[in-house]
Amino acid sequence: MPTQLNYRVGLIQMSCGPDPDANLDKAADRVREAAREGAQIVCLPELFRAQYFCQREDIALFDVAESIPGPSTERLAAVAREEKVVVVASLFERRAAGLYHNTAAVLHKDGTLAGLYRKMHIPDDPLYYEKFYFTPGDLGFKAFDTAVGKIGTLVCWDQWYPEGARITALQGANLLFYPTAIGWHPAEKAEFGEAQYDAWQTIQRSHAIANGVFVGAINRVGMEHGDVSGNKVEGPGLEFWGGSFLADPFGRIIAKAAHDKEEILIGEIDLKLLEDTRRNWPFLRDRRIDAYQPIVQRFLDAPIGDGK
């Protein structure tokens, strides 16, 4: 598909309630609103159809998953067609009985499915028990041809790994999305909260700089305990820190949301700026692809060599 030199992107920062259908209704309305504000491609936060249920291991929560295509993609596809907007939607995919993924679906502006990206890196941390629910992705890192050009999407924990961003950019993606569900443990916020958010923003800005691409990070907002369909859960919960942002190829923040409210961010993608940045900082040109074989090792237990 042809690449536009300029287009507008919408990032949907939203809170999520215990009713999955209500969350889908809200998401569809926010996509429509972003499109009417001029966005030509819109990205929703990670697993927006439910509160972040991975705060606990509960086999009943597999019932939240859905097929792709399925109810969510059908609903959002209708909005995409009506508003002529590309949509990136992060969903809990039921691929088969006992086989589930954390998956981003990319919908063309005519509502057809451009493709899927299945989250590659799966965390397992206190209140982020994703390995219980999600099989690691098996589609690899992908760039998708859309009406605005090539874009890529990774998901949340993927954002800490430079390899995924690099491989997606090398396939021609000019814009990387990171739909996310990340927040503060309440007991840790006072001591570590500012540093955690700063690290989260810094690593994603670094992907923009290292690859000469635009990066959009899309988070949810609000306090959640993982309540789903009226199933109230006790526990400390997570305070999702919002702070969604769009960065340019030099790592500069184009648009940034607050930490404590829902917002629709609209930002301009200028591919002339991407071209100019890469000409002056030609990181892709100067890569030493002959020297990177050790990166495929888990850990280097012995020295590589002395260079002789």
pLDDT of residue 233: 74
Q: How confident is the model at residue 5 (pLDDT cuts 50, 70, 90)?
A: confident
| Rounded mean pLDDT, 143-165 | 98
pLDDT at 159 over 60: yes
Q: How confident is the model at residue 303 (pLDDT cuts 50, 70, 90)?
A: confident
pLDDT of residue 51: 97
**Is 150 an active-site residue?**
no
Q: Are 36 and 170 in contact (CB under 8 A)?
A: no
**Is 46 an active-site residue?**
yes
Instruction: Lowest mean pLDDT of 31-45, 129-143, 201-215, 227-241, name the range.
Output: 227-241
pLDDT of residue 306: 60
Catalytic option among 46, 83, 93, 224: 46
Percentage of the chain modeled with pLDDT above 90: 93
Catalytic option among 26, 109, 119, 142: 119
Question: 179-193 pLDDT, tens per residue?
Answer: 999 999 999 999 999
Structural domains in the chain plus CATH codes: 6-296 (3.60.110.10)
Catalytic option among 109, 142, 156, 256: 156
Residue type, 66: E
Instruction: State the burial class of residue 195 (Cβ atoms within 10 Å of its Cβ: 0-12, 13-18, 19+).
Output: exposed
Instruction: State the burial class of residue 59 (Cβ atoms within 10 Å of its Cβ: 0-12, 13-18, 19+).
Output: exposed
Question: 249-266 pLDDT, tens per residue?
Answer: 999 999 999 999 999 999
